[in-house]
Structures are given as C-alpha cells and as structure tokens.
C-alpha cells in the first residue's frame, strides 16, 4: 500500500511540474497547451502551483533589449578607447615636431624650452585640458615661434600653458633668455 501511494504521489507531482502555456495569436484567439508556443503567438507561462503567470514574449524582448544595450555600451567604450588612443598619438606627434624644432635651432631654443608632456603623467594644469593635448603641444610651439618673431626675444627658455587658460581659450606663457615674458591666447596664435 505504501509503495502504491508513493508511486501515485510521484506521478502526480511530475504532472504538476509540467508547464501550461497560454498562446494568443494576433487575432486574439487563445489556446492552452503543455508545450511553448511558436513565434507567431504571444506566450504566457502559467504557474499551476501559485496561479501566477509569466509573459515569455516580454521576457524575451527584455533579454534582447538588454543584450542590445550591452552591445551599444561595448561599442561606445571601444570608440572612446580608440578616440583616446588617437589623441595620445596626435599629442606624441606634435611633441616630436617640437623636439625636432628645438634640436634644429639650438641657438633659438633652450634644450628644455618645450618639454614634451607625457599623456599618462600630465601636470595638474594640463590634465584639466587633456582632451586638447595635441592642440596644446602645437600651440606651445606656435607661441614660442611668435615670441621669436617679435624681435624682442632671441632665445626661448620655456613655453608653457598658463594658469589663465579656460575651457574655451587656452593661454600660453613664453619666457625668453632676455627676461622678457610673453602671453599669447589661442586666438592670437591662430592668426
């Protein structure tokens, strides 16, 4: 008797775990079945024990939306990384031009007049404008050349970003061996 009850109880519990699915087509016709619906029907899984239901179509849509969002975030991160690498490469290229100018004209530029900024170890002031690092390197060179062209400076000792710089307008300070100091903003250097 115990064995018979045990077997019947086991069979009944297996039946209650079987899922029931409510399938609704686009015309509103509803059908209940024990297997999941095809893709043309809206599928709702009904929990026999609690009476609750789960809309599988919405769950699938949420999974797809989440996967799309993750893919978009990954793509955005890759683009940001690529942009940062390009900025870093451009800054290194401008620094190389500065160093070539210094080595080509040792009588006009001291050896450390335009020291290259390492993109990974920027001074605090320059770090605030990190996204414009290639422009900063180019404009430092132009500021030094403009100071030399003025005729009041025979040799450039330093050309640096000045603390008066803002997000809109960068200001550069050029010190000469004669003691003269020049300040140029990027609007003046663009002319």
Give domain limits for the chain. Answer: 65-190
Scan for tokens 């330093």, then name that residue.
Answer: 158
d(CA 31, CA 33): 7
pTM (predicted TM-score): 0.63
Taking the C-alpha atoms of residue 44 and residue 21, their distance in angstroms, rounded to an integer, is 6
pLDDT confidence of residue 9 = 64
User: What was the pLDDT predicted at 60?
Assistant: 79
Torsion-angle region of 28 (φ positive above 0: left; ψ -120 to 50: alpha; else: beta): left
Task: Give the pLDDT of residue 69.
Answer: 93
Other CB atoms within a 10 A radius of the CB of residue 21 amount to 18
pLDDT at residue 21 in the model: 81
pLDDT given at position 53: 65
Series of mean pLDDT values for 10-residue runs along the chain (191 residues): 67 60 83 81 75 70 89 94 91 92 92 87 88 92 94 94 91 94 91 75
Residue 17 has a pLDDT of: 54
> What confidence score (pLDDT) does residue 86 get?
92
**Structure confidence at residue 51 (pLDDT):** 61
Q: Would you state the pLDDT for residue 99? A: 93
């Amino acid at each position: 008797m115990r064995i018979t009850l045990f077997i019947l109880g086991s069979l009944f519990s297996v039946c209650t775990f079987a899922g029931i699915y409510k399938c609704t087509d686009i015309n509103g016709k509803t059908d209940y079945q024990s297997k999941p619906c095809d893709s043309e029907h809206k599928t709702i899984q009904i929990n026999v024990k609690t009476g609750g239901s789960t809309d599988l179509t919405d769950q699938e849509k949420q999974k797809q939306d989440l996967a799309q969002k993750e893919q978009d975030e990954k793509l955005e991160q890759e683009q940001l990384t690529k942009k940062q690498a390009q900025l870093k490469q451009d800054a290194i290229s401008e620094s190389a031009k500065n160093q070539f100018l210094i080595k080509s004209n040792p009588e006009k530029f001291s050896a450390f007049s335009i020291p290259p900024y390492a993109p990974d170890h920027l001074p605090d002031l320059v770090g605030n404008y990190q996204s414009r690092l290639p422009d900063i390197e180019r404009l430092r060179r132009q500021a030094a050349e403009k100071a030399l062209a003025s005729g009041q400076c025979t040799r450039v000792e330093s050309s640096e970003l000045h603390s008066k710089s803002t997000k809109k307008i960068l200001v550069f300070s050029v010190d000469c061996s004669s003691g003269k100091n020049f300040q140029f903003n990027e609007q003046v250097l663009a002319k």
